[in-house]
Amino acid sequence: MSSHDTPPVTVQHNTAEHRFEATMEGKLSVAEYEVSKGEIAFTHTFVPPELRGRGIAEALVRAGLEYAKSEKLRVIPACSYVATFIRRHREYVPLTT
């Protein structure tokens, strides 16, 4: 399957579960977070192994960071994937300070 055949990733914000979600091929991928005192800590990002490499984690984390920006929350990249993502996408670095 080429990247042109990959359907776009639709991210939902599940506020009750404190996570951003995407379901593809019946499988759930998540970026979990906790909010406290004006900060949002991204604690865990998970994509099932068979769905990796399709940009799902990136879509989840980007949605989470855009939410943090819109809510003026300081980002704590407790998850290694989120920390790496921010290093690679420098426009999000200001959210961490």
- What is the domain range of residue 88? 3-96
Number of domains observed in the structure of the chain: 1
CATH number of the domain encompassing residue 13: 3.40.630.30
Q: Is 55 exposed, middle or buried (0-12, 13-18, 19+ CB in 10 A)?
A: middle
Digit-by-digit pLDDT tens for the chain (97 residues) are 444 566 789 999 999 999 999 999 999 999 999 999 999 999 999 999 999 999 999 999 999 999 999 999 999 999 999 999 999 999 999 999 8
Radius of gyration of the chain, Cα coordinates, nearest whole angstrom: 13
In the DSSP assignment, the letter for residue 92 is G
The pTM for the full model equals 0.91
